[in-house]
Every structure is written in C-alpha cells, then in structure tokens.
C-alpha cells in the first residue's frame, strides 16, 4: 500500500485531495498541518482513515519523522494568499521558501520517489500576451509570487538525481471550505447585504474548480513521466464584474458593486495556456469555469 504525505492537508485544497486519496483505503495517507489556516473539520470525512499530525514544515525533526517510509509527497503547506503574504512577510518567507526547502531536503534524505509542488499563476506577474504559457517570462509582483517561484527553483535543484519533482501552477481555485479569497468573500458580503468591492474593476481571472485541481494533482503523481511545470486552469477568464453580479443574483442580495482604486500588488489579468494540461495530464479545460458556483455559494450559506 503506497504511503502518501500531504503537507497542508487540512487546508482548502489539501483536504479535498486527502478525501480523494483516502477513499477506498488504497493508500496510507499522512497529513501534516500546523492548523494556522487549515481546519480539522475539513477532514471530518477522512479523519478515521488517515494519520493526522499537527506540526509545522519548518520543524525539521517532525518533518523527518512523518516523511520516513513515504513514497509520494504532495506539498501544499504554505502561506497561500497574496494579501496574507503581504501582511506577514516573515511567515510567508519562512513557510513558503524555508519550509519548502525543508520538505525537499527531507524527501532527499528519506528516499521519497515523487513530490508534487503546488505553485501559482502568481509567478507570472503581469503579462502582455494571453493565454500565458509555461515558457512565459516569470516576473512575480508580490511576496506570494516570489515565494512560489523560489519554491519551484528549489524543487528543480534539490530533486536532481534523487526523486521526481513535479510543479503545477494553479490558477484561481474555488470550491467549498475556502475563505478569505474573492468568491467566499463576495458570497459572505452578499449574504449580509454588504457592498462588494472591486479593486480596479477590470480584473480578468481564470477560475478553476477544486475537483479539477484534485484530479490534476492525482494525475501528476501517477503519470510515468511529464513535463514540468504545468498550468492548471481553464483558459477562459471571468471578469470580476460578472462574478460579482452572479453572486448577488445567486444570493438574492441587495448588495451593490463598489469600484475602488486597483491594488498595485495584485495581478489584474490572467488566462492560462492549457495545452500542456491536456498533453501531460490528459485533462480538457472545463467549458464553463463557474459551473459549480451555485453549489459553492450554497455551501458558504450553510457553513
């Protein structure tokens, strides 16, 4: 039975991945999470079938203990939002850069076979040509993007000759269990009848549902070989005015849209080139990026 470690496995993306990995009891799954952003309740459906360890990826001794005899690591533990990285730059650096180094070092020393690293579209920064391919110049414009790019480079260097490190650059992931990002923020504001704020008003965002991302993660680990990095997105961007209007309609809210000055640290436009996603992972892009939005909004209302 393969042994799989998921760092950050109690978080939004991590917990959905753990649910998938633990289904059917075909894997031995270990979750390491410091519960700073993750929640044990996210693992309620799988907790009896996994080993949960509360701990930090910067704790070398604990990391080595949970990595021993592991075949595959999904490394998701991170300070995972742009605004969070700006508000606490020290935690962002020590977790996303130092922590990733520690995970890779442990993987080398413990004989791990594969490591899947979740990077971000933020490594691209602002681009002039769309869709954005994996060969585009990398020019992150905020602390989060810089930290993810550093993690990618450490994956490249520390995995050489030891194990396979595969990098997925995720677009804007949405789904149940998320918070403090645009969709749950807008939904919560709409339920309360509060204004929905658009910073700049012309943002174009490539939204991708959590189910698609989990499938991409699974395939990245199970393919015999694949190019890396690979974008995971739809290539069909949504403007935030449309998103806000949809959420107001779904919640039957009286909320209004308020346009504020754009925030310099945010990337305003992104559309992923998904050709490698199809070639390497065998995954077609969803036709409707917001197909699951009604279910996600409903889950936020019931939370």
Residue pointed to by tokens 């300070």: 79
Six-digit token string for 12: 């939004």
Return d(Cα 158, Cα 73) in angstroms, integer.
14
- Rounded to a whole number of angstroms, the CA Rg of the chain reads 19
> Which position among 101, 144, 174, 186 bears the catalytic label?
144
Six-digit token string for 187: 């939904």
Question: Which residues on neighbouring strands pair with residue 51, listed in sequence order?
Answer: 30
Contacts for 241-247 with beta carbons within 8 Å, 24 or more apart?
Answer: 241/198, 241/201, 243/182, 243/183, 243/186, 243/205, 243/207, 243/290, 244/186, 244/196, 244/198, 246/290, 246/293, 247/183, 247/186, 247/187, 247/190, 247/196, 247/293, 247/297
Please list the alpha-helical segments (H only) found in the chain: 12-22, 60-67, 82-87, 89-93, 100-110, 143-158, 182-191, 210-222, 240-250, 275-281, 293-302
For 289, the 3-state DSSP assignment is: coil
144 catalytic? Reply is yes
For 48, the 3-state DSSP assignment is: helix
Residues, the chain? 303
Q: Which residues are catalytic?
A: 144
């Amino acid at each position: 039975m393969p042994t799989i470690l998921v760092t950050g496995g109690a978080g939004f993306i991590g917990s959905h991945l753990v649910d998938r990995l633990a289904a059917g009891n075909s894997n031995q799954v270990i979750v390491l999470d410091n519960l700073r952003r993750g929640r044990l309740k996210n693992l309620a459906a799988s907790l009896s079938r996994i080993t949960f360890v509360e701990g930090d990826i910067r704790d070398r001794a604990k990391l080595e203990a949970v990595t021993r005899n592991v075949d595959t690591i999904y490394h998701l533990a991170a300070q995972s939002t742009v605004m969070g990285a700006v508000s606490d730059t020290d935690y962002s650096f020590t977790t996303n850069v130092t922590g990733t180094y520690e995970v890779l070092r442990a993987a080398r020393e413990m004989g791990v076979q594969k490591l899947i690293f979740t990077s971000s579209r933020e490594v691209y920064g602002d681009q002039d040509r769309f869709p954005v391919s994996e060969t585009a110049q990398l020019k992150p414009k905020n602390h989060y993007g810089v930290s993810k790019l550093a993690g990618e480079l450490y994956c490249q260097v520390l995995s050489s000759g030891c194990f396979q490190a595969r990098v997925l650059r995720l677009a804007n992931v949405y789904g149940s269990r998320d918070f403090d990002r645009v969709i749950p923020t807008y939904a919560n504001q709409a339920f309360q009848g509060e204004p929905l704020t658009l910073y700049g008003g012309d943002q174009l965002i490539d939204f991708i549902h959590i189910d698609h991302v989990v499938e991409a993660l699974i395939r990245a680990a199970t393919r015999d070989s694949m190019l890396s990095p690979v974008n995971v997105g739809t290539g069909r961007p949504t403007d935030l005015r449309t998103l806000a209007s949809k959420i107001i309609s779904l919640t039957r809210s009286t909320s209004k849209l308020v346009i504020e000055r754009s925030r310099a640290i945010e990337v305003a436009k992104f559309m992923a080139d998904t050709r490698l996603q199809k070639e390497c992972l065998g995954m077609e892009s969803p036709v409707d990026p917001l197909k699951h939005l009604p279910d996600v909004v409903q889950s936020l209302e019931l939370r």
